[in-house]
């Protein structure tokens, strides 16, 4: 009986080993044909505050499904050279965004063929909560003023002297349905930190759109709306429509006028 127990244990351990090896081989076969992505790794031990150079960085190909969160891609390694390590990094470790002290300029964040411009909003409340790489839409309220000459006869038959009557119309519509924030103006001169109090952000746009936004800041009031990142809905500005006098006429149509009682209800005091 004593000899049976070790035999049973050996069989169980053997089956467990076979299971582990089989699972490993199965996982390898499953990821064999999966798309690989090159990420940046440490070529050697890197002390804290050391400048990252070509000799200190290398790459490793990993399956897309197991890509580490926040890992930096090898195709962007040129932007990492010259930065400093936030803390010590062991050899073969993935290089994460949190591992480095970024010293990038505003121009480095611009896309090729685009212009980076500042946008100042009428209400800075949301800007204080934004972070770089957030996506926003930009709403514009445009005020059009029109001067019309008036003349005619009064009820008593006297002639109204010619004069100019000015009218004002407001229209609110989507200026840009989606744009990525690449920087936020701060009093300390930084643009990659959240919490800007100036109400100004930086965005990268194609030249024509950049000119339109610059002109819109003089002609209209601009307001930001926060979007979920990578949300593909509501990208056609014309489909969203415009809010104008007709909008509010439709809201009020069929409603009865509300009246305030002379004596307020007791529980509202």
Domain ranges of the chain: 4-101, 106-248
Contact (Cβ atoms closer than 8 angstroms) between residue 158 and residue 173: no
Predicted confidence at residue 176, as pLDDT, reads 96
Report the distance separating Cα 19 and Cα 204, nearest Å.
Answer: 53
Strand 57-63 and strand 36-42: pairing? Answer: antiparallel
Q: What percent of the chain has pLDDT over 90?
A: 37
Report the distance separating Cα 248 and Cα 245, nearest Å.
Answer: 5
Predicted confidence at residue 229, as pLDDT, reads 85
Predicted confidence at residue 185, as pLDDT, reads 82
Predicted confidence at residue 188, as pLDDT, reads 59
Contact (Cβ atoms closer than 8 angstroms) between residue 139 and residue 121: no
CATH architecture of 4-101: Alpha-Beta Complex (3.90)
The CA distances from residue 248 to 51, 253, 256, in Å, are 60, 8, 15
Predicted confidence at residue 204, as pLDDT, reads 93
The CA distances from residue 262 to 255, 259, 268, 269, in Å, are 22, 9, 13, 13
Residues of the chain where predicted confidence (pLDDT) is lower than 70: 1-11, 13-33, 102-104, 151-162, 187-197, 266-269
């Amino acid at each position: 009986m004593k000899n049976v127990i070790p035999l049973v244990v050996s069989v169980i351990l053997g089956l467990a080993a076979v299971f582990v090896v089989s699972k490993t081989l199965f996982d390898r076969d499953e990821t064999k044909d999966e798309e690989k992505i090159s990420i940046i790794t440490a070529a050697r031990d890197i002390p804290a505050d050391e400048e990252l150079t070509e000799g200190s960085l290398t790459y490793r190909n990993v399956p897309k499904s197991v890509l580490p969160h926040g890992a930096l891609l090898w195709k962007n390694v040129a932007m990492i050279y010259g930065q400093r390590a936030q803390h010590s990094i062991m050899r073969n470790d993935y290089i994460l965004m949190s591992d480095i002290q970024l010293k990038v300029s505003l121009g480095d964040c611009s896309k090729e063929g685009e212009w980076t411009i500042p946008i100042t909003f009428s209400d800075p409340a949301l800007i204080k909560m934004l972070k770089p790489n957030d996506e926003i839409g930009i709403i514009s309220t445009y005020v059009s003023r029109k001067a019309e000459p008036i003349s005619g006869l009064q009820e008593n038959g006297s002639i109204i002297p010619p004069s100019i009557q000015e009218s004002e119309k407001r229209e609110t519509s989507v200026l840009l349905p989606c744009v990525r924030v690449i920087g936020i103006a701060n009093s300390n001169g930084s643009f990659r930190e959240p919490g800007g109090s100036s109400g100004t952000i930086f965005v990268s746009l194609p030249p024509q759109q950049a000119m339109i936004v610059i002109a819109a800041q003089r002609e209209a009031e601009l307001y930001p709306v926060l979007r979920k990142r990578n949300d593909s809905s509501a990208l056609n500005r014309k489909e969203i429509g415009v809010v104008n006098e007709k909008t509010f006429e439709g809201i009020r149509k069929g409603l009865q006028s509300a009246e305030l009682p002379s004596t307020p209800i007791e529980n509202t005091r």
